Amino acid sequence: DTAVSQTPKYLVTQMGNDKSIKCEQNLGHDTMYWYKQDSKKFLKIMFSYNNKELIINETVPNRFSPKSPDKAHLNLHINSLELGDSAVYFCASSQDPPAMYGYTFGSGTRLTVV
């Protein structure tokens, strides 16, 4: 299946732990993104990478670090997890130019920090 796939789908962890969320797309897209959706369903961009190069880095605590080993993968590593990090994290990808093609979203990772 051609898609944007994220793993894991659910992640429950304790405060202070370090965790990673993986994202892979087999659509041949050049740009990948991480968005955070809070409890009020508000989607906010965190990062974007184009061909392994960081393009957008919004005001995100530096406990969050994206890693792009190749243009088909964009992983999100989170250090020292806090309660406020609980949210659904969506990975997305787009063909260039994104404004013409829009995004394809992954199915999300629900992170719960306890």
Partner 1 sequence: EDKVVQSPLSLVVHEGDTVTLNCSYEVTNFRSLLWYKQEKKAPTFLFMLTSSGIEKKSGRLSSILDKKELSSILNITATQTGDSAIYLCAAFQGGSEKLVFGKGTKLTVNP
> By the criterion CB under 8 A, which residues form the site for partner 1?
4, 31, 33, 35, 40-45, 48, 55-56, 90, 97-100, 102-108
Handedness of CA 47, 44, 77, 30 (dihedral sign): negative
Query: What is the smallest separation between the CB atom of 4 and partner 1, expressed in angstroms?
Result: 8
With H, G, I as helix, E, B as strand and everything else as coil, classify residue 101.
helix
How do the residues of the chain divide into helix, strand and coil, expressed in percent and rounded to 5? Answer: 5, 55, 40
Query: What is the smallest separation between the CB atom of 77 and partner 1, expressed in angstroms?
Result: 21
**CB nearer partner 1, residue 100 or residue 114:** 100
**CB nearer partner 1, residue 22 or residue 103:** 103
**CB nearer partner 1, residue 18 or residue 44:** 44
Cα 105 → chain centroid: 10
